[in-house]
Structure 1
Amino acid sequence: MAGAERRRFVVEADGGSRGNPGPAGYGAVVLDAATGETLAEAAEFIGRATNNVAEYRGLVAGLRAAYALDPGAAVRVRMDSKLVVEQMSGRWKIKHPDMRPLAAEAGAVYPRDAVAYEWIPREKNKHADRLANEAMDAGKRGEQWTPSRSTAELDTRAGGAAPASAADVHVADAPVDVPAKSAAPPAGWGPDLGPPTTFVLLRHGETALTPEKRFSGSGGADPELSATGRRQAEAAAAALAARGTVQAVVSSPLRRCRETADAVAARLGLDVRTDEGLRETDFGAWEGLTFAEVRERYADDLAAWLSSPEAEPTGGGESFTAVARRVALSRDKLLARYPSRTVLLVTHVTPVKTLVRLALDAPPESLFRMELSAASFSAVAYYADGNASLRLLNDTGHLR
């Protein structure tokens, strides 16, 4: 701006995960570089995530808060994450698929030459750290952080220290962008963490395309349940009614899932909430084709898709990496919405397998090693320390 001095902001950002991955949140504060005055604060509980993801989310939130104050400002970002600082400064490569879109999102807020990055020790990042912990505490209560209840600035300026616990300690950053080893206890006996949040995963009933084993995702036709599929949905509903544990029903927006969910919800006397993240993969040009037809027409694309989670189906469909990202986001939002409850998720083959894979921390190629029948039940329990436990996979007993 001609004749006016460019405003200068300091953005301090942090993120944490109680479990890594586990319940996570971020905090960010925008300061006037000249006076040190707090101009804006941001914090959010983001569900289950790693430290690195939470730190990047804090960076994005801090930059956006600064941009809202002045799009033409010069910004110095100060963070205690060596990983984020080095990657955003361009000195370390960003290899992990969860980090790349977040880094791109952060880099797109301001022009590259308007932002500089500085690493600081954690004790100098107390304001953002307090905000992140407030957000995680709010998430533990089933709430979201609100500015009106925050004492982060007061605590920081007073020099006081928030009560520390093992859950508040960040795992040290490593010079590679892979999630740090989980601080959560390994499988086996552990302390009583209270009832988990349990997702009962119901694949929708058959459609006309199911027995023909055709690709049927979210990018083609939206088929209804067949007569067989409707019978399967009723059988699933009867089984769940007899069990009596489901407290909420969430469905993919696609018709075959909504019809299955409606049958169950009617039996249980519950409403159905839809979640876009639970829809099936977009299979692009493969929609409606059999595997053999795809292999005949698009052999090279199919081979790439089978060998890499980054590969997309022909015609701009979704990669398994993209699907995993949106499924994980929906998982985290639902975990925050339904703490310690049993929730029925009515969805599709890929989202169910993805939730199972993520719970087991299994590699992407494990998706090809699971059988998942129409109208089958699977179940995953999520605990407060960030651990997940696969309880059931491809149960079809109710259909016999």
Structure 2
Amino acid sequence: MIIDLLRHGEPRGGVRYRGHGCDDPLSEQGWRQMWQAVGESSVDWPWDGVLSSPLARCRDFAEALCARRPMPLRVASGLREVGFGDWEGLTREQVRGGHPDEYRAFYADPVANRPPGAEPLADFRRRVEATLAAESAALGVRKILVVAHAGVIRAVIGWVMDAPDAAIYRIECDYGSISRVSRDAERGWRVGFTNRRR
């Protein structure tokens, strides 16, 4: 099984904390980033099926992709981004200016110092892992594109690497980038590459 993990493109509204409580659609630039990531020709697409987060910045593109070349699409709520609690929709400048102590604490230790009301990282990772296992099995194909968020992609790579919670924050994941994990009977799960952009 090969699973390619595509991060959504730039959303409308600029850079801000977008978890599963902030559902901005893609900007024009975001659409361009995603089509560039997969390539314009559906003939070259290697996937047999698509899994997507239900949030608009992922789902809209997944639906457009599957309209261009029909293949099975499953939208899974468990692939939505980690919840940022009280920081949802705020920019870094707003958090840094309004909550400087919380901001500093989060960037010093993002596992122990979650934003107020945020989803615990361990719960988020369990949600993503369980969803990916169940939904990829239900899709029933061997080459899957997952259209999701930076947090989801980091969680999957962390799961494959058996990495601790703090380590997944060191994984770069740009807009419109693709990372790959795969599984075979002899070696189990492997990371092929991360954060690749065309």
TM-score range, shorter chain: 0.7 to 0.9
Q: What is aligned with 2:2?
A: 198
Write the distance in 2 (CA, Å) between the matches of 1:321 and 1:254: 21
Q: What is aligned with 1:260?
A: 61
Q: Check the 8 A contact 2:76/2:135 in 1, yes or no.
A: no
Q: What is aligned with 2:15?
A: 213
Deviations along 1:54-75, one digit per CA (max 9) or x if unpaired, are: xxxxxxxxxxxxxxxxxxxxxx
Deviations along 1:33-61, one digit per CA (max 9) or x if unpaired, are: xxxxxxxxxxxxxxxxxxxxxxxxxxxxx
Q: What is aligned with 2:124?
A: 323
Secondary structure, counterpart of 1:250 in structure 2: strand
- Greater CA drift, 301-310 or 316-325: 301-310
CA spacing shift, 1:237–1:268, aligned 2, 3 Å: farther
Q: 1:267: Cα distance to partner?
A: 2.6
Q: What is aligned with 1:85?
A: none
Q: 1:335: Cα distance to partner?
A: 4.0
Which amino acid is 2:68 matched to? R
More relative contact order, 1 or 2 (CA 8 Å, 6+ apart)? 2
Asked if 1:313 corresponds to 2:119, the answer is no
Any residues of structure 2 matched to 1:235-384 within 5 Å, and which? 235-238=36-39, 241-306=42-107, 307=109, 309=111, 311-314=113-116, 316-338=117-139, 341-384=142-185
CA spacing shift, 1:289–1:336, aligned 2, 3 Å: same
Q: What is aligned with 1:224?
A: 25
Which amino acid is 2:123 matched to? A
Aligned residue pairs total: 197
Structure 1, unmatched stretches of 5+, are 1-196
Q: Check the 8 A contact 2:46/2:143 in 1, yes or no.
A: yes
Q: Check the 8 A contact 2:78/2:127 in 1, yes or no.
A: yes
Q: What is aligned with 2:189?
A: 388
Q: 1:242: Cα distance to partner?
A: 4.5
Q: 1:303: Cα distance to partner?
A: 4.3
TM-score by length of 1: 0.46
Secondary structure, counterpart of 1:233 in structure 2: helix
Secondary structure, counterpart of 2:39 in structure 1: helix
Secondary structure, counterpart of 1:392 in structure 2: strand
Task: Report the RMSD for the aligned CA atoms in angstroms.
Answer: 2.2
Q: Check the 8 A contact 2:38/2:45 in 1, yes or no.
A: no
Write the distance in 2 (CA, Å) between the matches of 1:310 and 1:273: 33
Q: 1:243: Cα distance to partner?
A: 3.2
Deviations along 1:205-258, one digit per CA (max 9) or x if unpaired, are: 21123xx431111113x1111111122233234357343320101110001101
Percent sequence identity is 33
Which amino acid is 1:309 matched to? V
| Structure of larger gyration radius | 1
Deviations along 1:151-205, one digit per CA (max 9) or x if unpaired, are: xxxxxxxxxxxxxxxxxxxxxxxxxxxxxxxxxxxxxxxxxxxxxx111101112
Any residues of structure 2 matched to 1:165-180 within 5 Å, and which? none
Secondary structure, counterpart of 1:389 in structure 2: strand
Deviations along 1:269-322, one digit per CA (max 9) or x if unpaired, are: 1242100111011111111222232233233433444415254322x1212212
